[in-house]
Amino acid sequence: MLKDVAGMKSQALQPPINLRPQRSFVSSSVQTSAASKPIQRTDNLSYKNTQTTVLLIPKEKSGKDEETPELVKQLEDNVEEVNDHVRLWQEGWRERYYKNKFNVDKDESDQFRAEVACQYARGLCWVLRYYYHGVPAWDWFYPYHYPPFASDFINLKNVSTVFDSKIKPLKPLEQLMAVCPPQSRQLLPEKWQTLTFDKLSPIIDFYPINFSIDSNGNQYAWQGIAVLPFVDEKRLRHTLESICETLTNHQKKRNKNEDDQLYVHRRNKYSKHFDQLYVDNTNILNIGNAINIQTSLNDGIAGKIWCDKHMLCINGTLKSPLSQANDIEHNQVISVKYRNSK
């Protein structure tokens, strides 16, 4: 259940512009288990182009949510009329948009709009290359919370479409650190959790408790844009390098970027092709001497395959990693390592 918290605004947020005022909400129940103690940090994130502060605290689930009359009334009371400060239908809409969303004055807007449009066009190139050739660069991101107007896409012939493909992706637990809010820190390795709420953490600014939600012309807060800081990948990597040794052996095993595994059932027409990798052929053990998939046999799937050293033999038993689940007996699935074609 949500409660309206009147006047909950951060003193550190003093925007020079007027976005639609939003009410702040806090859940009526807060997790207090040992795995997720209430966060005591109260520092604020100052962000120049936003106004509203919303405190997000996870609600402790005690059962199935019900739409009680009290809840319905509270939700209805929290509906506000849309207050659109951009007003796209009135003259001056472009200047108001860049002032409200980017805090850029009219005399600076021409050059800034060109930069935003170039970055957005570069993002479109990234997406197209991703779908047709794979990830062009793991470290690139669109550096703004808002897009440009279509009419701002001019003089784009000099937009760079070159990306640094040498950058390696974040490891799984590093990726989790980059996206996990402090309220869900129990999902992180125990020694890493402190980085999300300790005031002395070198990356504490990645995990703001108070942040702004721009309604962006929408009626409900959940339709708005959460204006969060962008994570500095280099700082994140550098910080985690110093505490990687605190991971358990199991966590270290999970925290690796490896090739995909492709599984097929024994009844699949392609399983015989997979069998050939394991019958009197011990040389196809790595990507260096992988073989191409015969796309004609398996609905057009393409790529390279090689032996999976962890493959469970047919009719073998897979021991369940969970005490609550049964072992899988009489295995009928064969697996190989797989890499998609570039």
Which residues lie closer than 8 Å to 184 by C-beta, 6 or more apart? 36, 58
For residues 321 and 330, give the distance between their C-alpha atoms in angstroms, rounded to a whole number: 17
pLDDT of residue 58: 44
- Mean pLDDT confidence for 106-125: 93
Statement: residue 123 has pLDDT above 90: yes
Report whether pLDDT(36) > 50.
Answer: no
pTM, rounded to two decimals: 0.68
- pLDDT for 49: 41
Does the pLDDT at position 193 exceed 90? yes
Quote the longest CA-to-CA distance of the chain.
76
The predicted model gives 151-180 an average pLDDT of 93
Residues 100 and 17: beta-carbon distance below 8 Å: yes
Predicted local distance difference test score (pLDDT) of residue 78: 63
Predicted confidence at residue 138, as pLDDT, reads 94
Kindly report which listed range (23-27, 156-160, 184-188) carries the lowest average pLDDT score. Answer: 23-27
Q: State whether residue 67 is helix, strand or coil.
A: coil
pLDDT, tens only, 231-246: 999 999 999 999 999 9
Measure the CA–CA gap between 337 and 335, rounded to whole angstroms: 7
262-269 average pLDDT score: 89
29, pLDDT greater than 50: no
- Domain extents for the chain? 258-339
Q: How many of the other CB atoms lie within 10 Å of CB of 122?
A: 17
* Residue 119 clears pLDDT 60, i.e. is over it: yes
Cα torsion 316, 317, 321, 327: sign: positive
- At residue 137's C-alpha, the angle toward residues 293 and 337, to 5°, is 25
Of 22, 20, 34, 41, nearest to 195 by C-alpha is 41
Tokens read off for 296: 């004609």
pLDDT band at residue 293 using 50, 70 and 90 as cut-offs? confident
